[in-house]
Structure 1
Amino acid sequence: MSDEDVISALRRKTGAGRPPPEVQPMSPTKAMRVGFAKAAEEAMELVFQVQQVTERRLTVSALTESLPENALLALLEGPLEQFGLMVFDHITTASIVEKMTTGAVLPMAPEERQPSTTDAVMCSDLMDRMLEAFEDQISEAPDPPMVQGFRYAARLQEARSISLAFDDVPYRCFFITAKLGRVGRESTVVLAYPYAPPQPKRAKGEESAWGKEFKDVVMGAHVTLDTVLHHFKLSLADVSAWEEGTVIPIPREALSRVEVRAQDGRKVSRGRIGQISGMRAVRIDLTEDEGSSVALDGQALDLGGMAAKDGDMPSLGDLGAMEASDMGSADLEPDAVGNGLGDMPAMGDLPDLPDLPDVDGAGDDLPDLDDFPAIEDLPPLGDLAPLGELPDLD
């Protein structure tokens, strides 16, 4: 047996040259051709012949731009709060309306106009039947797309409403060319479904995957923080005089009011110096500043005599023991200070004020200005007594 005979025998075994099988596997084109024709015939005895089906994956914006003018836009509501779209061009809408009103698709071309709400109501039943028939047929495909459960919900007024109602996800779009009626009007139908099931929504307060990854990266980054104990100013001469053993005075409250700063000098937070397991530590305080008056370990800070303890404060009753000179006036007597408000006379014991004279004629006794001496009659400045002869104010 020659090599050509061997190759020919192998080709016959592998089926080369055989005609394609009579029964084609289920596909979207076949499902729509069978399902749409059956639904139109059962609903209104309308001839609906699918000629071509093109499947495309589009975004919402691309889908909106690819729709025909003056088309009937039907919003489809599906499972998991998803939406789909079914579009009849003006020829498909007019053919269905003519079939329902006159009983036949007219031979003349229909008028191109905007569809009305009445048109949507008349076409909604056929849309649901076509969608249901397509679902039944496509379910026999080896890997059927997700098209189950979508039904007519409402009519969209304009194309831009699609971007408002639809999520910004990819959509599986079918562009269908068909012939309607005995006259064979060529029309276009568009069918759009979400390309994939929706992602599960996060519960309230639940962190997203991206947020968790970002947080892990940020929390794993190396950061250097400096702790500033206290700020004060010194002259250059004082700093130059420093030597080994020089003591720098720092107030005690600085231990509980340290500043935590980043490498660029920005203040991050306040802190408090303490110890943990025998090691020095800084406790970060992220609350807002409430002032500089703080306490350390519940005890009042000793500011070098500037603040007195509660037991050292004099009582109001001891104020009477102060000397009159301590009160800043030589005319006050010590007893007058110590008597307190309790020894003052009551308001009812005060004497009555004398009657004031009438104002009328009170200025009649004043001398005239003409009786004052002239300026040239005043003694010169040189005749005034020298400063040495004036008494001291002490």
Structure 2
Amino acid sequence: MSAEQMTSLVQRKARSGREAHAARAMSLARALRLTAAKQGEKMMSLSLSALGVTRQTCSGDDLTSRLDETSLILLMDGPGTQVAAAVLDHVLVAGLIQQQTMGKVFVTPEGETPRANTSTDAALCAPFIEGLMRHAAPMPEEEADGILLKGYRFGVWAKTPRQAKLALDANDYQVIEITLDMAAGARVGKLSLILPEPRAPSAATEESEEGGSEAAPTATLGDTVLGLHAELTIALTRFKMPLQSVRALKVGEVLDLNLSSMAHALVIDANGRAISRGTLGQIDGKRALQVEQEQTRRYAEPRRRASDREGLDLPDVTAGIDVSPDQRSQHEPEDLGVPDVSDIDIFGDMDDLPELPDMEEAAEQADAQMERLKELEKEAAAGSRSQAG
């Protein structure tokens, strides 16, 4: 056997080995095929098979052509702030809803007009998409393929392609199109997964992961607050001036501000309202404002504690009153002209009071009196009727 024949034989064996390995390897396309069939049977008892899986790279600016008005667009929240999209054509949406509501997928009629999608359609289709991506993510042998699908869950339904385009703000995307056969050919729909390219971890993230819990923050809250940029609008004074006079102002004219001190500067908000006041000056050659604390806010909160009494200027009513004999004698009734009524008998001689009748006898007397009053009323009524006749 010549060298050329030996090389050709080795190449054929290597090729057959690679093909056998490729057939056994779990690629992203194969993972999606198997997962789609399993999830269709598990979640909806639907016979579902993937007829084909294609994968393309697309830039964010070219996504408009892949977002159709008649398709159901589900935005998926991913790791960090990444947003993906699942686009289901109207044939696939109708099949999934028929299976879940009526237990059967009907054959697509000729000339079927796509209807408008609703939030109910999104709620019925979103669990299948979540299950497909979640269970297919750990299956591919290539780690990058698994990361592409990992960590996504349903976020919101995009009513229009424009809303979806605004949410999909990544630079590059992987577009995976899956052609799904439902109920042995009753319907054939298409699912498109628009997945952003995974972001590479930053150096700071890698260092924090390596350091674990021992990594300390580089800046405190105080440093962050002091580093914020704040703009203050300061007004030294305010006065009214006719618009005609303002228009007549010329370069070089001087306005009398009637200002003798910088201690009454006003801090103005964006609406022109004075929110505080202070003294305008400078520190280290830079303009500075010493803001005064408003006194009206000092007692904005109720002050009920014993520790708050020092600043309230209130008398102490908890301590006992120690009155000396001299002070007590100054307030005796004799000194104030008040007669002594301690020996007056306000009840008199209780023995002179008549005996009270028994309670039962008193009740009988009262009933008899009421009977007499009723008889008198009847006689008066009879007399009035006879006079009228």
Taking structure 2 as the reference length, what is the TM-score of the superposition? 0.47
Higher-helix-fraction structure: 2
Taking structure 1 as the reference length, what is the TM-score of the superposition? 0.47
